[in-house]
Structure formats: structure tokens, C-alpha cells
A and B are shown apart, each in its own frame.
Chain A
């Protein structure tokens, strides 16, 4: 009996061993992904509940003249928490997540779990015209980083857990797992492979499951019917896509303008949100619906459109755009996702109003459908994440019948937006800082390798006081053509290229009478040992050199030749793009 049991266990154990050995740590990722899904999902639910709770609490004040001051107070409180209390940089946090994955090996500070969570609760709860999605992404990412750290995962797997946290956050907030997966993939995940997608999908599913358990089956927005955009509406959707693209560009530029204005006014990182908050309050006086994350407005738009004359609607649209630019541009904690959804829904509604007189009623889809398509379009335009937009609308409506029309809108919006803004609102910040480095790309490899890793081995240093005759003897010890000239403290004073003095060396009399110090190159550009390969290669190009000396402070370390760099680069490329 005992014998047969062991004989079953042995092959199983063997299989597990093989799996572990082959995948080296991938098996630990699945339980941790579930953990991250639960935690980030819970955080998403908590933030949603907390913010809307605060909004309801403040509702009576918001409807009165106090609306002028409330968004400012909320922005002040929120920014203060993020910037002063928890000492983090302002903003919605998504670029920081991407940077953590690209540049910092998936490391985030644990306080990031709470910083923007609390900050955006205060800011958006009091009426700030921003979304909770960006902050939840930041929180979820920090949860992933924290779990990764606790379970001693390496940088690559930590990066995957960060992506898990991001997906779980989005999935939890919208009760939409596929959207969470798509967002994580399109924005944050540095590499897309079967082994990295599976944990992310798992985390998203877990978070959505949690949301479902807490709120029931209903998605974030109630679509009254299945999205009924048929192929007949395809042309209209293409036109809507163009409009969405332009609106997306307007939002991106509006936020950037707000940011620039904030910098020019020198109000400080807490002062700017507070002062801009007054502007938001002013908008609130004119149109209360432009404040907050706008979910009720979206719900209206999807339901039976937003009531009111077209002009008022246009006014609402413009005010929402202005309020979002102020709230987001000021650096107060809050995301651009929800404002994009609101503006997209409004674009759809306005489009429907504009088109309705010209199209027979029977053939025109209801206004709610256009609102939904507009939402997808705006996400595609502003975040340049078309898949996220399409999936969100599909999951929210629980139907896939309108996929063609949705895709038409989203893709058109993306193409139009990219014509004006080559990078999404998230990535531009990173691109400008030179931090957008995906693993396995040329830029990343060049940024990763340091000059000190590329030093040529056999270097024969020479002294200024040596004659060329001495150099001839030294040259026999090496096949190299370049010699560094060092002083008594091993500091670099010059370089001598053998080919430049070859003729002279062949004349024994002159060789004995010419000093190295006289014929060396003394204005030598040395590479710092910690410089990355990208800057080193730029130097080589600038100087037209093939060999350069490397120093650390004033101490000479060695020589780097352009020819060895290629072999080193090739090796690193193989390392970074291997499948394991």
C-alpha cells in the first residue's frame, strides 16, 4: 500500500520540480497576484465608496454659494496630504508607475499605497474635476510593489506584480476585469508575454470578483439596453471618432496649459491646487455638474442623454473641459480617466443632437449609444489606449454587438489624436525626462550598461618623461594602439596613439630624444566610469574617436574602445530579450 502511494507521488514531485526549475520563480507569482488582486480591489472599492460618501456629505453645501470655496479646500487638503504629509510629487501618479517599472525595477514606496488614495478622496470628494482611476492605479501599483518586496521577488516579477495591482485597481473600480487587463497591458506592462499576462489577468479577475461580491453584478454604469450601434452607424462613428480625437487633444493641451500656468504663477505645489480650486469653484457656480468625477453625468448621458438646450450642453462641455484642465493641471491628486469619460459621453450626446435632424429616426441609434461610443473614443484619444476604451464600453454594457462601431470610433480617435500629440498624456512626461525605457529596447540597453563594465583589459600606461624609444619597448608588451599617459598619482594627463608617432619611432636617434609628454594629446575627453553607454556613444560620435579613456574622479581606470562595445551590447541584448 505505502509503496504504491510513494510511486505515485514521485513522478508528481518530479513534475513540480521541473516546473519550478524551468520557470524559476514564476510559480510564486500566481498566489501573490491573487493577494495583490484582493488588496488592490479592496482599495478601489474603498476609494469609490469614500469619495462618493464625501460628495454626498458635502452635497448641501455644494448646492449653495459655498461651492466657490469647497473645491479649493478639497484641492488644498488633498495636495497637502500628498506633497507635504507624505512627501510625494504632485500629479495623478500614472507616469510614476510606469517609471517605477521601466527605471526602478518595480520599486515603489509603501506610503504610495495611501498617498494619492487619500489625496484624491479629499480632492474629488469636495468637487475637484478629476477622476479616481489614476490614483487607484497608483495605489494598486504600490501594493504590487510592496507584495513583491515582501516575497523577495526579482525586478522583473515585481514589475509584473505592479501591473497586477494596476489591473486590479481598474477592474475593481469599474467592475470590469478585461478593462483592467487591457489598461495594464497598454499603459504599464513593460513586456507582453504569456507568463506576464496570466498573473495580471488573474489579479484583475479577483478584484472584479470582489467588486461583484460587494456591489452585486451591476457594472459601474447602467446601460439601459444593449449597445445598438449597427453597421449602418459605422460612418457616423467614424465622424464621431474624429470629433473625439480632437476633444482628446483639447483635453491634453488644456491640462498642459493649466500646468504651464501653474508653473508661471509660482504658487507652489500646494498653493497652485488651492488657487486653481477657486477657479473650479467658479465653474461650479455656473454648472454644478461639471464638478467631481462626473459619474452621475455619465449615467445620465448613457441613459437618455443629458436634458437641456444644445447651447447649455455646449456650455456644460466647455465648463467641464475648463474645470478638468484646472484641476488636473494644478497637480492636485486625481486622474484624467474620468474626465475623459465625461467629455466623451458629452461629445457623443452633442454629436447625436447635431446629427439627429439629418438622419431618419429609425436608422439613428439612441443617444446613449453615442455617448458610450464617445467614451471609448475619448479614452483612445487621451490615454492612447484604444483597447481599454473599447473593452470598457463592452463590459459596461455587457454586450459585444457594437464592437465594429466602437472600434471605428476608437481607432479613428486615436489616429486623429496622434497626429497632434505623438505621446499620450501619461507618456509625454516620461518621454521628456528620458525615462520611457522599455526592457529589451535599444534605449534601455544603452541606459543600463555602464562604461565601467566595458573597460578593455590590457592597458599599458606610460609616463610623460618617457622617450619614444622607451615607448617602443612598452609597445612590445601589448597589441594595443592607444596608450594613456599618467602622472605620479595615476591621474590622466594625456593619450598617445601609436599610429601618430609611428614614423618617429622608426628613427632611433629622434626616438631617443623625443619625449612622450611633447607628442601626446593633452586635451583628452575622458568618460566618467558611471556614464551610461548612450552618453558614451554620443561622445565617441562627437569626437570621431575609436578609443577613449575612462576616469573615476581624477583617477584613470582604463580604456574603452568602440569595437568591444558592440560585443557587449550584443550580449546584453540577448540577456534582456530572452524568454525565461
Chain B
């Protein structure tokens, strides 16, 4: 027989306020049964009515589920890698950061290397205070469907043409599937790097488990 809505249900269905639906009923514009305020609407009729009039319920942008993740950064590091290396220069360091990522097909690796190096050539990703965040020029949705961070501690700090002129000792290679995830990841990275305690720990080049534990303890907007 079909579903029936009451006033509130019809308003929700049509995506308009109850006051509007009430007015439409009073003006005879909306097919319904009964009289206000106990008026009832048949779902199939409402569907046809709104379709005939081309009424659009405003499209709601689906929220990216990945952004709600409290452990976004920790998860990204867990999916990525933590390691240390002695590299000759920035390019070699970037290559090493990519190399230590698990389960990355060769084609992806070479493509990503080109993208990240290309980005680095446009402008240095050396933030200052000894950190650098190399990343591809556009989020590589083609190769990546979940964010990954490759943490590389440099045994010898390297010149990275950083903003404050300081050599870089910690490299965080960021890989995100989309712009929105990349922005969120950057926000978490920003939090981490502004935290004195974490910054100090990072200079000690900790082991993966310790780093992950620290990141998980860190709460967003704490």
C-alpha cells in the first residue's frame, strides 16, 4: 500500500521546513489526506509530485570517512614505514623513503619518485626546525587509497634548502589518496611538529613502536 508520512516526515522527505509544507498544504499545492495539522502524505505521491515539478533536494556532499579517523597520522605511519638511513643528498633521501614502503609496485614507486622530486624542485618542503615533508605535487589517488607516511631519520642531517636554513634530520614523506585527506594529514603533522615534546623525541630517532605509541596518545585538538 505504500508508506505514509506525517507533516514532519514529509518535510524531511522533501528537504524543506515544516512551515513550507504547511503553507503548501494550505495553498492547495501539495496532495495530501486529512486536514492540518493531522495531515498525511503518501510517499509514492510525494515522489511523483516532486519529480514532476523538478524539485531538487540539495545534494549533500558525502563526507570522506577517512577524515573522521582519530588515529589518522598513527594509522598512516603504521601503513607506511619508519627507518633510518645515511643519504648523500635530499633526492637520495626521498628515494630511500619511498624504497622502505611495503607493498608498493615498482611502477608506482618510480612514478611517485618522479612526482615527489618534481614537487621538490618547484619549492623546498623543508619546514624548518630540521623537518621536511616531501610529497607528490598532486595527491596520487592512482596508487594510494589509504594515507601512508614514510618516516625517515637521517643519520647525517642534509641541506634541504629549508626556510630557516637549518639542515634536515627527519623526513616525513606524505602520500594521500585525495586533496581532503592530504589537508587533514597536514593538519595532524602540523600539530605534531608544534609539540615540543614530540619534536624532541623525534630528534632521538626512536623505534617504530615507540613512535606509533606516542602518535596514538596524541589526541586531535587536545
Contacts and interface: CB of A to CB of B under 8 A. Distances in A.
Interface in B158-179: 163, 179
Contacts of B179: 500, 518-521
Contacts of A263: none
Interface stretch (B40-48, B142-150, B182-190): B182-190
B79 interface: no
Interface stretch (B22-30, B124-132, B205-213): B124-132
Interface stretch (B54-62, B87-95, B106-114, B196-204): B54-62
Contacts of A465: 122-123
Interface residues of B, number: 29
B183 A519 contact: yes
B98 interface: no
B56 A541 contact: yes
A527 B139 CA distance: 26
B186 A510 contact: yes
Interface stretch (A290-298, A337-345, A357-365, A501-509): A501-509
Nearest to A507: B190
Contact of A518 (B56, B127, B182, B194): B182
Contacts of A543: 59
* Residue from A467, A503, A520, A543 with most neighbouring chain B CB atoms (10 Å): A503
A368 interface: no
Given A500-B183, A501-B183, A521-B179, A510 B190 contact: yes
A513 B137 contact: no
B86 to A, nearest CB: 25
A75 to B, nearest CB: 39
Contacts of A507: 190, 194
A285 B114 CA distance: 84
B216 interface: no
Interface residues of A, number: 23
B138 interface: yes
Nearest to B187: A503
B52 to A, nearest CB: 11
A544 B123 contact: no
Given A515-B137, A544-B58, A509 B187 contact: no
A542 interface: yes
Contacts of B182: 518-519
B135 A509 contact: no
Contacts of A542: 59
A494 to B, nearest CB: 10
A503 B182 CA distance: 13
A259 interface: no
Nearest to A512: B163
B133 interface: yes
* Residue from B123, B124, B187 with most neighbouring chain A CB atoms (10 Å): B123
Nearest to B135: A518
A516 to B, nearest CB: 11
6 contacts: A500-B180, A513-B133, A513-B163, A521-B179, A542-B59, A544-B60
Interface of B: 56, 58-61, 119, 122-128, 133, 135, 137-139, 163, 179-180, 182-183, 186-187, 189-190, 193-194
Given A465-B123, A504-B183, A509-B128, 11 more contacts: A500-B180, A509-B127, A509-B163, A510-B189, A517-B137, A518-B139, A518-B179, A521-B179, A541-B59, A544-B59, A544-B60
**7 shortest A-B CB distances, which residue pairs?**
A544-B59, A541-B56, A509-B127, A507-B190, A510-B190, A513-B125, A503-B187
